[in-house]
């Protein structure tokens, strides 16, 4: 060995397996039959030729990184190509796509495919990989045969080499698992040459063989118990008869397969998580864009609303300004006339004062006679007032606009509460908005008087107790005595249980309409108080004004939602209050509240209380209440009259009807001492 020339190992040689090493050493052992200098030179020449052959084709040796699967990070095994052009091991790609029914994508570039691609084996790439692997194996065999010491140095470049157990000096090139010892190339020769050692199991040098021995039997681990997850020797098998065991190589292969499959599952899970994150991010962006667009639209709508309100404000202000200018011009003219009159008086006054200073009797008498004949008229100041019709109508227009805006804002809240009450355990046939009489809701009905009654009459009904219902059926045949639908009754009961504080959230501030007031009615206190005058108030003619009865309507009208107002009255007075359609007659017998099918009211005639609708009277129990609350539920189809101030808000009376038009608060006064006042509802501002 002393005359042997050492061959410099290449900079980066791939590691070789135990099987390859055994083949190389068997080949090398044949050349060591007669260890002479010539034989060593022949081996060295063969190695140099192999190196030259490998270095002459750097394309193959430099393609190892390009020929590595991006999933398992090993050289391709049966490589296949996906439509995007990337290559993977067939088994790796199958594991990656296992369990997917759609959404197939490239593991490297994330390109998605409509369906599962048909994978074809890349034969050209297979041949390139085989050539690269063959050349790497040949190179490893030559390097191992040339210098075992160099091999050991390369294998353990990062750690001290395993020493030979025979000489304790040279690095070991093989470990015999049968002998449980490591040998250098020199002391390994008997294992190569002697038939007695051919059955010994050789492997690359192992550093600590004691860790591979069973501490109980001092024998090498040869098997793996999957139940206990431990390596065992052949003698330990007796204690693991019922356990599933397998050789270490087989257990390692199985564990590698399981871990590789788990790695693929984690890879797929990571991809799904990334896609989910991308979807969430996209949804987040879309929600922000949608909210931004909606905010822009809402801002535009509110800008238009503000513009409409400002335009209406300008119109009203312009009307008042024009009226102010008209009055101001008249007063300015009167002022100038009075100024001239004052100058005339002052001139006459100066003449008289001058005459009184005259000493000559003759001249004084002449001037006095002339001045006594002159006369001046008293200054007349005509009455110039603002047109109250213009002032009132503009003010009422502003109030109406304000109330309309408030009603529309509160309407959504009311609907939510009503929906919760209506959506109770009720069959569809008992819906409160559907007529429960066996006739079409829009078909006109004939009464016993021969009049055509609108659909609202067919479902109008009153409720106090069972006896009163029977009486009402006899007195008023046009009012249906049928039972109220369950949902409607529950809705009414829910409002009956509400205290006054809760009813105030539906409060509406009512003002009286000047254009509907009878000519003997006096409206005062900002059109919230009505009384009777003994003489006519000389109201201007208006088509909406009541001419035969001392009645007046509220300026506000209600088509939807829930509304509540309170009226203050005097004990023992003759008056009435209720609601009516705007289309109710203004002249003749049918223009009185309750005497037609378009109005519902209760009346006080001294101590007697009655309800009226469609010219049908019903006597009611007496009440000492001086304040009456009116609750109108347009969508629920009922109006209640409650005694405010008494316990539990006692109901005086309630009507049930299908309202088909907008409803106006209505009031009637009979005696000259009767007074009705509308209460200011503070609850409206807090609602």
For residue 55, count CB atoms less than 10 angstroms from its CB and return exposed for 0-12, middle for 13-18, buried for 19 or more: exposed
Cβ atoms of 68 and 76 closer than 8 Å: yes
Which conformational region is residue 265 in: left (phi greater than 0), alpha (psi within -120 to 50 degrees), or beta? alpha
For residue 507, count CB atoms less than 10 angstroms from its CB and return exposed for 0-12, middle for 13-18, buried for 19 or more: buried
At residue 640, the 3 state secondary structure works out as strand
**CA-based R_g, the chain, Å:** 56
Provide the angle, in degrees to the nearest 10, between the axes of the packed helices 361-373 and 248-356: 130
pLDDT of res. 487: 65
Locus of tokens 């223009």? 591
pLDDT beneath 50, residues of the chain: 1-57, 149, 151-157, 425-486, 683-687
At residue 183, the 3 state secondary structure works out as strand
Alpha helices in 388-506 (DSSP H): 388-422, 455-459, 466-475, 486-496, 500-503
Side-chain half-sphere CA neighbours of 489 within 13 A: 12
For 336-361, the DSSP string reads HHHHHHHHHHHHHHHHHHHHHT---H
Nearest C-alpha neighbor of 144 from the set 52, 53, 37, 24: 24
Tokens at 346, concatenated:
């002052």
CA distance 8 to 23: 22
Multiple choice CATH, 18-212, 3.10.129.10, 3.30.40.10, 3.20.20.140, 3.30.460.10: 3.30.40.10
Residues 6+ away with beta carbon under 8 Å from 44:
5, 7, 146
- Chain-centre distance of CA 293, in angstroms? 14
Which conformational region is residue 565 in: left (phi greater than 0), alpha (psi within -120 to 50 degrees), or beta? beta
For residue 467, count CB atoms less than 10 angstroms from its CB and return exposed for 0-12, middle for 13-18, buried for 19 or more: exposed
- Chain-centre distance of CA 13, in angstroms? 64
Cβ atoms of 163 and 155 closer than 8 Å: no
Count other C-beta atoms under 10 Å from residue 515's C-beta: 19
Locus of tokens 């049930």? 656
- Chain-centre distance of CA 86, in angstroms? 43
At residue 104, the 3 state secondary structure works out as strand
Give, in degrees to the nearest 5, the angle at Cα 602 between 596 and 603: 100
At residue 143, the 3 state secondary structure works out as helix
Please provide residue 400's backbone torsions phi and psi, each rounded to the nearest 5 degrees.
-60, -45
Count other C-beta atoms under 10 Å from residue 491's C-beta: 22
Strands ordered across the beta sheet of 223-225: 230-232, 223-225, 245-247
CA distance 675 to 530: 6
pLDDT of res. 139: 64
pLDDT of res. 76: 85
In the chain, helix, strand, coil percent, each to 5? Answer: 45, 15, 40
- What are the boundaries of each domain within the chain? 18-212, 250-386, 445-686
579-629 tens-digit pLDDT: 999 999 999 989 999 999 999 999 998 778 999 999 999 999 988 888 999
pLDDT of res. 462: 36
Q: What is the bridge-based pairing of β-strands 174-176 and 452-453?
A: unpaired
Return the exposure string of 19-39: e unless at least 16 CB atoms fall within 10 Å of the residue's CB, then b.
ebbeebbeebeeeeeeeeeee
Strands (E) in 498-635, as ranges, are 521-524, 529-532, 551-553, 562-568, 574-581, 599-605, 608-613, 616-620, 627-633
100-153 tens-digit pLDDT: 878 888 988 888 888 888 888 888 888 888 887 777 666 655 555 555 545 444
* Whole-number Cα distances in Å, 567 to 87, 292, 338, 625: 88, 47, 49, 11
Its sign, for the CA torsion 70, 71, 74, 76, is negative
Q: What is the bridge-based pairing of β-strands 87-89 and 104-105?
A: unpaired
At residue 666, the 3 state secondary structure works out as strand
Strands (E) in 15-173, as ranges, are 79-81, 87-89, 104-105, 112-113, 120-121
Q: What is the bridge-based pairing of β-strands 245-247 and 452-453?
A: unpaired
Cβ atoms of 40 and 5 closer than 8 Å: yes
Architecture of domain 445-686: Sandwich (2.60)
Which conformational region is residue 92 in: left (phi greater than 0), alpha (psi within -120 to 50 degrees), or beta? alpha
């Amino acid at each position: 060995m002393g005359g042997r020339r050492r061959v410099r190992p290449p900079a980066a040689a791939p590691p070789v397996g135990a099987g390859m090493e055994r083949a190389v050493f068997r080949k090398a052992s044949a050349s060591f039959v007669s260890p002479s200098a010539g034989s060593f030179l022949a081996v060295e020449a063969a190695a140099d030729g192999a190196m030259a052959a490998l270095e002459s084709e750097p394309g193959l040796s430099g393609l190892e990184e390009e020929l590595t699967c991006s999933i398992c990070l090993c050289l391709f095994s049966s490589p296949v190509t996906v439509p995007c052009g990337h290559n993977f091991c067939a088994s790796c790609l199958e594991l990656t796509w296992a369990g997917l029914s759609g959404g197939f994508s490239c593991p490297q570039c994330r390109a998605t495919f409509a369906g599962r691609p048909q994978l074809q084996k890349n034969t050209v790439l297979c041949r390139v990989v085989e050539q690269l692997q063959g050349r790497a194996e040949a190179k490893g065999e030559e390097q191992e045969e040339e210098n075992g010491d160099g091999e050991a140095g390369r294998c353990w470049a990062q750690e001290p080499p395993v020493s030979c157990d025979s000489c304790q000096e040279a690095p070991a090139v093989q470990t015999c698992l049968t002998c449980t010892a490591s040998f250098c190339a020199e002391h390994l020769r008997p294992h190569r040459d002697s038939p007695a050692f051919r059955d010994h199991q050789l492997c690359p040098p192992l550093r600590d063989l004691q860790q591979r021995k069973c501490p109980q039997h001092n024998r090498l681990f040869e098997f793996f118990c999957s139940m206990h997850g431990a390596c065992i020797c052949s003698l330990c098998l007796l204690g693991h008869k019922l356990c599933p065991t397998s050789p270490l190589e087989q257990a390692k292969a199985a564990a590698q397969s399981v871990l590789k499959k788990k790695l693929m599952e984690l890879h797929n899970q990571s991809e799904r998580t990334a896609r989910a994150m991308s979807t969430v991010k996209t949804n987040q962006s879309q929600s922000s864009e949608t909210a931004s667009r909606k905010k822009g639209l809402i801002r535009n709508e509110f800008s238009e609303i503000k513009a409409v309100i400002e335009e209406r404000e300008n119109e009203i202000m312009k009307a008042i300004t024009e009226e102010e200018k008209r009055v101001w011009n008249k007063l300015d003219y009167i002022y100038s006339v009075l100024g001239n009159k004052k100058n005339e008086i002052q001139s006459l006054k100066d003449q008289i004062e001058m005459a009184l200073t005259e000493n000559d009797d003759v001249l004084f008498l002449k001037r006095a006679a002339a001045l006594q004949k002159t006369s001046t008229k008293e200054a007349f100041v005509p009455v110039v007032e603002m047109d109250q019709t213009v002032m009132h109508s503009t003010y009422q227009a502003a109030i109406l606009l304000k109330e309309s805006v408030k009603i529309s804002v509160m309407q959504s809240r009311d609907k939510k509460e009503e929906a919760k009450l209506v959506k109770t355990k009720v069959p569809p046939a008992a819906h409160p908005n559907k007529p429960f009489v066996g006739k079409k809701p829009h078909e006109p009905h004939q009464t016993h008087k021969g009049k055509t009654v609108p659909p609202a009459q067919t479902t109008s009904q009153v409720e106090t107790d069972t006896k009163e219902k029977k009486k009402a059926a006899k007195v008023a045949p046009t009012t249906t005595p049928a039972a109220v639908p369950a949902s409607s009754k529950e809705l009414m009961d829910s409002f009956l249980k509400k205290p006054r504080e809760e009813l105030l959230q539906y409060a509406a501030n009512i003002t009286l309409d000047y254009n509907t007031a009878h000519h003997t009615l006096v409206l005062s206190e900002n059109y919230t108080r009505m009384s009777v005058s003994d003489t006519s108030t000389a109201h201007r003619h208006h088509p909406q004004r009541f001419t035969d009865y001392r009645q007046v309507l509220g300026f506000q009208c209600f088509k939807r939602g829930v509304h509540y107002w309170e009226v203050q009255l005097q004990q023992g007075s003759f008056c009435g209050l209720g609601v009516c359609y705007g289309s109710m007659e203004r002249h003749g017998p049918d223009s009185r509240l309750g005497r037609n099918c378009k109005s519902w009211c209760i009346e006080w005639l001294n101590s007697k209380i009655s309800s009226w609708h469609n010219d049908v009277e019903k006597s009611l129990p007496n009440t000492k209440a001086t304040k009456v609350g009116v609750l109108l539920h347009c969508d629920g189809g009922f109006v209640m009259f409650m005694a405010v101030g008494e316990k539990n808000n006692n109901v005086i009376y309630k009507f049930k009807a299908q309202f088909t038009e907008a409803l106006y608060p209505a009031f009637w006064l009979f005696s000259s001492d009767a007074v009705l006042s509308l209460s200011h509802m503070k609850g409206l501002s807090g609602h």
